[in-house]
């Protein structure tokens, strides 16, 4: 009975809108026992693909339906807002400008309390208390890189443009490990990375993997850099050159 109560649903829609704002009846679905939703096309041009949903219910032993709710819902192809993404996840490093702040949470797995060099897990309160103590007694940095944070950095750097898989590295004459411009770093990253200090290299001032390399390697000599044969000259027999008056003047001078 409720599935056939199209006119009752339309009347509820008109009453709710205060005008005849609904379009064609698009169908009805049973939501449960004696509860049915009727759908009507939304006719406002700003709501293409949206539809009005009028939910009717019928109490036991009652004939007349009652109106539960009238709402507008997106249908197939409706223009809807994209999913909400928290600010912290939306801001990328390329968005960061002078004065912008990117807060780090207390439980960021990339950091551990300053007296640790490991990945010991602390709950939020303990971590906060420890940070206070560390700050008061002046033990240096409140937090340092965790093993996880370090592993993430290694993966990023090794797979990036200054790692061994970049086009620059693949065509390099030698590796950074043998380059005089490589500045060694200390700590656990020393076995895999250094810093390039060659102003002629695109990696100048950046972390490079020891098996990265580029054409500005310190062992490259002048004769090597000229070893590529020059390309054969090309004679263009298809197009015309356009001469200006000043060109002709120079030629005839």
Residues that bind ligand SF4 (CB under 6 A): 176, 179, 181-182, 196, 198, 201, 203, 208, 212-214, 216-217
In the chain, what are the helix, strand and coil shares in percent, each to the nearest 5?
30, 20, 50
Minimum distance between the CB of residue 129 and ligand SF4, rounded to whole angstroms? 44
Interatomic CA distance for residues 54 and 71, integer angstroms: 7
Minimum distance between the CB of residue 155 and ligand SF4, rounded to whole angstroms? 20
Interatomic CA distance for residues 65 and 74, integer angstroms: 25
Q: Which residues contact 76 (CB under 8 A, 6 or more apart)?
A: 49
Q: Which lies closer to ligand SF4 via its Cβ, residue 134 or residue 168?
A: 168
Minimum distance between the CB of residue 85 and ligand SF4, rounded to whole angstroms? 36
Q: Which lies closer to ligand SF4 via its Cβ, residue 37 or residue 198?
A: 198
Minimum distance between the CB of residue 149 and ligand SF4, rounded to whole angstroms? 25
- 36 — alpha (psi -120 to 50), left (phi > 0) or beta? beta
Minimum distance between the CB of residue 203 and ligand SF4, rounded to whole angstroms? 4
Interatomic CA distance for residues 117 and 25, integer angstroms: 66
Q: Which lies closer to ligand SF4 via its Cβ, residue 37 or residue 201?
A: 201
Radius of gyration of the chain (CA): 35
Strands 143-145 and 50-57: unpaired
Minimum distance between the CB of residue 167 and ligand SF4, rounded to whole angstroms? 13
Q: Which lies closer to ligand SF4 via its Cβ, residue 127 or residue 168?
A: 168
Minimum distance between the CB of residue 207 and ligand SF4, rounded to whole angstroms? 10
Interatomic CA distance for residues 88 and 222, integer angstroms: 50
Q: Which lies closer to ligand SF4 via its Cβ, residue 18 or residue 180?
A: 180
Give the torsion sign (CA, 174, 175, 177, 179). Answer: positive
Q: Which lies closer to ligand SF4 via its Cβ, residue 50 or residue 181?
A: 181
Q: What is the three-class DSSP state of 169?
A: helix
Q: Which lies closer to ligand SF4 via its Cβ, residue 55 or residue 201?
A: 201
| Neighbour-count burial of 22, counting CB atoms closer than 10 A to its CB (0-12 exposed, 13-18 middle, 19+ buried) | buried
């Amino acid at each position: 009975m409720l599935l056939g109560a199209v006119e009752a649903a339309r009347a509820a829609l008109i009453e709710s809108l205060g005008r005849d704002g609904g379009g064609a009846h698009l169908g009805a679905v049973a939501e449960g026992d004696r509860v049915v939703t009727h759908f009507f096309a939304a006719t406002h041009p700003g709501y293409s693909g949206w539809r009005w949903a009028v939910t009717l219910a019928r109490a036991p032993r009652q004939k007349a339906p009652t109106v539960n709710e009238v709402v507008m819902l997106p249908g197939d192809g409706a223009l809807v807002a994209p999913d909400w993404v928290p600010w912290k996840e939306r801001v990328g490093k390329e968005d960061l400008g002078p004065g912008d702040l990117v807060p780090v949470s207390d439980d960021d797995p990339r950091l551990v309390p300053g007296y640790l060099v490991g990945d010991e897990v602390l709950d939020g309160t303990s971590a906060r208390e420890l940070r206070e103590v560390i700050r008061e007694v002046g033990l240096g940095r409140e937090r340092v890189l965790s093993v996880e944070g370090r592993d993430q950095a290694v993966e990023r750097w090794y797979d990036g443009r200054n790692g061994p898989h970049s086009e620059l590295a693949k065509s390099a004459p030698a590796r950074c490990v043998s380059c005089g411009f490589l500045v060694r770093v200390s700590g656990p990253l020393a076995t895999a990375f250094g810093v390039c200090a060659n102003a002629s290299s695109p990696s100048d001032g950046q972390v490079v993997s020891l098996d990265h390399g580029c054409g500005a390697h310190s062992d490259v000599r002048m004769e090597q850099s000229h070893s590529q044969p020059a390309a054969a000259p090309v004679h263009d027999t298809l197009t015309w050159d356009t001469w200006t008056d000043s060109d002709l003047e120079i030629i005839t001078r």
